[in-house]
Amino acid sequence: MKTRGKTTKAIKRAAFGLAAVIILAGAGCPKKELLYDTTLSKALGEAGWTSVDFPRELLGAGTIVSITQSQGITYRGHLKDCVSAEQFESRFGLKRGNAGLEGKIKTSYKLDISALLNYQSIEVGPSFNSLKNFTVTMGPTREEALSDILVRNWIRANWDGLTPACKNYLRGYEGEKINPQETVFVLTDVLGAQGYTYSFETTSGAKVSLSPANLGQYFKVGGSAGLGTTASGDLKSDGFVYIAFKAAISPFAATQGAAPALSATDLMQARNRALHGSD
């Protein structure tokens, strides 16, 4: 299916890009903890957001996902697959704006370079061992939100007339091993970050000045990674990556009137605890 085909490609592009945002500093920590920044997760939680298990280029407002404790978030489709893209924003009341997180979450994290070795999409160059630390800095955060009322009412009023493909997004495919009552959600309020940079230091504490000419000495980054070097010698991407959500609707509840046993937040928090331990 076309939308599913985009998933792997998009996540691979993001794998190196925002990976460090969710890394816990410290080379001596257990390997699983290096995949997640609990400081950021806690700060987001205190502000009412639920961290996703991995930053994504997908997961915008209106994304249809399944969430389980064993698999985390899996992209299924988008409400744009069920209504025309031209109608999407007005039909569901899409709003974009500043998330108001200035001063509530850190935007920069200084981490041990060994953390990057946990990501299989990263190929290191011959000079990688000369690096010790790196600092990742997120760009401005932005909130995207749909009207919960409009989405719920639309699902309820139009269910019988939806195409089979759209119903499959929302309730599960034939033979699919999920429980749509408990695991399928439409994300209606999500948080992302626009742009991020990496600054690197050597084992002696000197700043590394990267350029197109010497980048391959440290990293083998393909064009699909969407990264480039800056005038100050940092690695930079202008991409937009989603890092958390605040609200999600269960299509089953919208059509059957029964709330799921566990909310999207419950499931995601259980997933994060299973992967990374208690925050």
The single residue listed with the structure tokens 């893209």 is 85
Residue 107: Cβ-neighbour burial (10 angstroms; 0-12, 13-18, 19+): middle
Structure tokens at 77: 């489709």
Summarize pLDDT for 4-63 with one digit per residue, the tens. 444 334 334 443 444 433 333 333 333 333 334 567 778 888 899 998 877 778 899 999
pLDDT at 17: 43
How many structural domains is the chain composed of? 1
| pLDDT score recorded for residue 252 | 84
Contact between 193 and 18 (Cβ < 8 Å): yes
- Beta partners for 61? none
Q: For residues 118 and 19, give the distance between their C-alpha atoms in angstroms, rounded to a whole number.
A: 10
Name the range with the highest mean pLDDT among 117-126, 156-165, 180-189, 217-226: 156-165
What pLDDT is stored for residue 115 in this prediction? Answer: 63
Structure tokens at 155: 């699902």
**pLDDT one-digit tens code per residue, 259-273:** 777 889 999 888 877
Q: Indicate the pTM of the whole model.
A: 0.74
For the chain, percent helix, then strand, then coil, each to nearest 5? 40, 30, 30
**Across 102-113, average pLDDT:** 79
Angle at the Cα of 245 (from 3 to 24), degrees rounded to 5?
A: 100
**Predicted local distance difference test score (pLDDT) of residue 135:** 84
Cβ atoms of 155 and 248 closer than 8 Å: no
Q: Which two tokens stand for residue 105?
A: 């979450």
Please, how many CA atoms are within 13 Å of residue 214, restricted to the half-sphere of its CB?
Answer: 10
AA identity, residue 74: T
* Full residue range of the structural domain in which residue 53 is found: 2-276
Q: Could you report the per-residue pLDDT of 111-120, keeping only the tens digit for each? A: 777 766 654 3
The mean pLDDT value for 102-116 works out to 76
